[in-house]
Amino acid sequence: MERENQFIGQSGAFLDAVERASRAAPMSRPVLVIGERGTGKELIAERLHRLSTRWDEPLVTMNCAALPETLIEAELFGHEAGAFTGATKARAGRFEEADKGTLFLDELGTLSMGAQERLLRAVEYGEVTRIGSSRPVRVDVRIVAATNDDLPALAKSGEFRADLLDRLSFEVITLPPLRVREGDVNVLAEYFARRMAAELDWHTWPGFAPHITEQLDQYAWPGNVRELRNVVERAVYRWDDPETPISHVQFDPFDSPWKPKAPPHRSDQSSASSPASAPQTGSAAAVIDFEHVDDLRAAVDAHERSIVEHCLGKHRWNQRQTAKALGLSYDQLRHAIKKHGLMEENAE
């Protein structure tokens, strides 16, 4: 877990989830934490432990997706010497390590059916049996589990034990994705940016240019807070002038004119010939809602302004490089800058 991370946000959806975790923390009951990748499931698990009566006991974490199926049960429940090939000595499992504390099971939906059955017994009876042993061991463990899977749907299809789901879902905390956390993108971006600026020994924090703030707010953030942190910190450390506002961010770190191209497939070739697969830019600079354009000239001007503004930021307001990148003369670019009032905005 990234312990330097903090709960940062002000949206109602986010604060409701944190409050629910705080209320559930003192209860020695299982809790399921549901959310997309990067929404902070690990932080919620740590909060549940730190605010519980078990706070001074172990918090043991296991990523169920990080181990092959053949080793998951041995990791969870331990094994005796000689129980299987390579088991040269006895080893306690995660349940025994977490005795009196909390066991955090990340990616719960990836557990095999065999491991689910043994987990159910451990939850019901508070006993685990090491592989290769016939003697159960009593454990007192509070289970917090996390997943981005639809567990009820998996249970309905027979891919997850419904009785185990019933036992683990005393409380279910569903974390909101960043795209619905109104106002939190700018708060988080400011926090991550200031922290990176301090790490780089900048004496002041110049802030973001207005068009960058708008781009950050409008981006969909499929990777949620983790992706936002990477984008912001990357933009700060790449910026060479700590005296001027940051005017360029790169959302996709793999975006490059020299990126290797995937070999064409028949389906790709057929779709490429259709009108729906028109080429798209990799920039988040401008997105037009064609269904709601009621003023063509204003829409074209807004699109042009966004492209010029984005390209200026990318080239750190070097106007000759920007003009060359856009296929314009220097005078044409100067006219566009003056037309859209970009020089005045950048000077503010």
- DSSP state string for 133-156: ----EE---EEEEEESS-HHHHHH
What integer pLDDT is reported at residue 58 of this predicted model? 96
Q: Which residue has the higher pLDDT, 23 or 337?
A: 23
Average pLDDT for 101-121: 93
Task: Report phi then psi at 271, rounded to 5.
Answer: -75, -30
What integer pLDDT is reported at residue 348 of this predicted model? 46
What integer pLDDT is reported at residue 281 of this predicted model? 39
Residue 273 near residue 220 (C-beta atoms within 8 A): no
Hey, what domains does the chain have and what are their CATH numbers?
12-82+90-176 (3.40.50.300), 182-255+285-347 (1.10.8.60)
Whether residue 284 is predicted with pLDDT greater than 50 in this model: the reply is: no
Coil, helix or strand at residue 31: strand
Residue 60 near residue 106 (C-beta atoms within 8 A): no
Average pLDDT for 289-303: 73
What integer pLDDT is reported at residue 266 of this predicted model? 54
**Burial, 121: exposed, middle or buried (Cβ in 10 Å; 0-12, 13-18, 19+)?**
middle
Q: Which residue has the higher pLDDT, 60 or 67?
A: 60
CA–CA dist 21, 41 (Å, integer) = 11
Whether residue 136 is predicted with pLDDT greater than 80 in this model: the reply is: yes
Encode pLDDT of 187-244 as tens digits.
999 999 999 999 999 999 999 999 999 999 999 999 999 999 999 999 999 999 999 9
pLDDT above 90 covers a percentage of the chain that reads 59
pTM (global) more than 0.85? no
Coil, helix or strand at residue 171: strand
Encode pLDDT of 137-165 as tens digits.
999 999 999 999 999 999 999 999 999 99
What integer pLDDT is reported at residue 1 of this predicted model? 39
pLDDT above 70 covers a percentage of the chain that reads 88
Average pLDDT for 23-33: 96
Q: How many CB atoms lie within 10 A of CB 104?
A: 28
